[in-house]
């Protein structure tokens, strides 16, 4: 049966693969035939993700993405072991709710380093000779916080808004190399981070957040579906775009 989202024969690197959205993306891509390179800091959690994948020849690659200067040589060495990459999904990131009066430079730098700087370094690394196969697709997992304003989210919103802007510029710059660059902007998705947020709020406060999503909160699979669409040939003519997957949050 013809499947326009078939990824057989393609190798895709996914950051943040140890849990949540990143893990779900890996599971779906493996079902579509892709070989996965799983990246996060925890080798144990990556192994747990690998055990859930279909197919073989997946590669577990523990790495701390805050080591920005080491990303290019690491990616060069990694691709020599895995073969050329056909796709890159940057799902790793950090989130924190910090009111402006308490937002220090250290917290801002921490978020910028993982959410934005590592994305740029990964893109540079992907472009290196021998790392990327013929053409390719880069997908950044951004957030609706980079599109609409939210209290106490200035630092997080800055990193995700910048990620969306970076994707647009890279899409133009890398088009001659047939490398597409896009973002996904999720609303609130049912992950352990969402569970932690729920624990910090009263039932009424959390219900108010849920009510802002007309279709309810998302599932990691919803974001995985969007990533697969952009990585596969279904996204062949899409670059520099942000696919908003938010249950209607930004439609209001």
- We report the CATH number of the domain holding residue 100 as 3.40.50.720
pLDDT digits (tens, 9 = 90+) for 81-97: 999 999 999 999 888 78
Query: Phi, psi (5° rounding) for residue 155?
Result: -65, -50
Query: Does residue 250 lie within any of the structural domains?
Result: no
pLDDT digits (tens, 9 = 90+) for 168-199: 999 999 999 999 999 999 999 999 888 887 88
DSSP symbol at 116: I
pLDDT higher than 80, residue 5: yes
Average pLDDT, the chain: 95
Query: Does residue 89 lie within any of the structural domains?
Result: yes
pLDDT higher than 90, residue 117: yes
Angle between helix axes 118-127 and 71-82 (nearest 10 degrees) is 50
* Contact assessment for residue 137 and residue 235, using Cβ atoms and an 8 Å cutoff: yes
pTM, two decimals, is 0.95
Query: Does residue 179 lie within any of the structural domains?
Result: yes
DSSP symbol at 133: E
Query: Does residue 143 lie within any of the structural domains?
Result: yes
Query: Does residue 2 lie within any of the structural domains?
Result: no
- Of the residues 156, 163, 189, 247, only one is catalytic, namely 156
pLDDT digits (tens, 9 = 90+) for 21-40: 999 999 999 999 999 999 99
C-alpha span between 152 and 52 (Å, rounded): 36
Element housing 183 (H / E): strand 179-186
Number of domains in the chain: 1
Element housing 108 (H / E): helix 105-111
pLDDT higher than 90, residue 246: yes
DSSP symbol at 115: I
State the distance between the two ends of the chain, measured CA to CA, in whole angstroms.
39
Query: Does residue 49 lie within any of the structural domains?
Result: yes
Confidence label for 207 from pLDDT (cuts 50, 70 and 90): very high
Query: Does residue 5 lie within any of the structural domains?
Result: no
Confidence label for 200 from pLDDT (cuts 50, 70 and 90): confident
Query: Does residue 173 lie within any of the structural domains?
Result: yes
Asked if 249 is an active-site residue, the reply is no
177: containing domain: 11-239
C-alpha span between 201 and 122 (Å, rounded): 35
Task: Work out the average pLDDT over 104-123.
Answer: 93
Task: Check residue 133 and give its pLDDT.
Answer: 82
């Amino acid at each position: 049966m013809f499947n326009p989202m078939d990824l057989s024969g393609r190798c895709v690197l996914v950051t943040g693969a140890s849990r949540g959205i990143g893990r779900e993306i890996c599971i779906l891509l493996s079902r579509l035939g892709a070989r996965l390179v799983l990246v996060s800091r925890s080798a144990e959690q990556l192994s747990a993700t690998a055990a859930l994948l279909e197919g073989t020849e997946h590669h577990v690659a523990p790495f701390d993405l805050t080591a920005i200067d080491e990303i290019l040589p690491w990616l060069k060495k990694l691709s020599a072991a895995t073969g050329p990459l056909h796709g890159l999904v940057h799902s790793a990131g950090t989130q924190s709710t910090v009111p402006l009066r308490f937002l220090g430079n250290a917290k801002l730098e921490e978020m910028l380093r993982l959410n934005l700087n590592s994305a740029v370094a990964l893109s540079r690394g992907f472009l290196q000779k021998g790392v990327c196969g013929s053409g390719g697709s880069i997908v950044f997992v951004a957030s609706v916080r980079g599109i609409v304003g939210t209290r106490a989210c200035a630092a997080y919103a800055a990193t995700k808004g910048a990620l969306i802007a970076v994707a647009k510029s890279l899409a133009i710059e890398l088009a001659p190399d047939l490398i597409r660059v896009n973002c996904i902007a999720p609303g609130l998705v049912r992950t352990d981070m969402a569970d932690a947020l729920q624990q910090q709020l009263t039932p009424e406060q959390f219900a108010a957040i849920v009510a802002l999503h007309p279709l309810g909160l998302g599932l990691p699979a919803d974001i995985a579906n969007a990533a697969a669409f952009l990585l596969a040939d279904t996204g062949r003519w899409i670059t520099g775009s942000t696919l908003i997957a938010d249950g209607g949050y930004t439609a209001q």
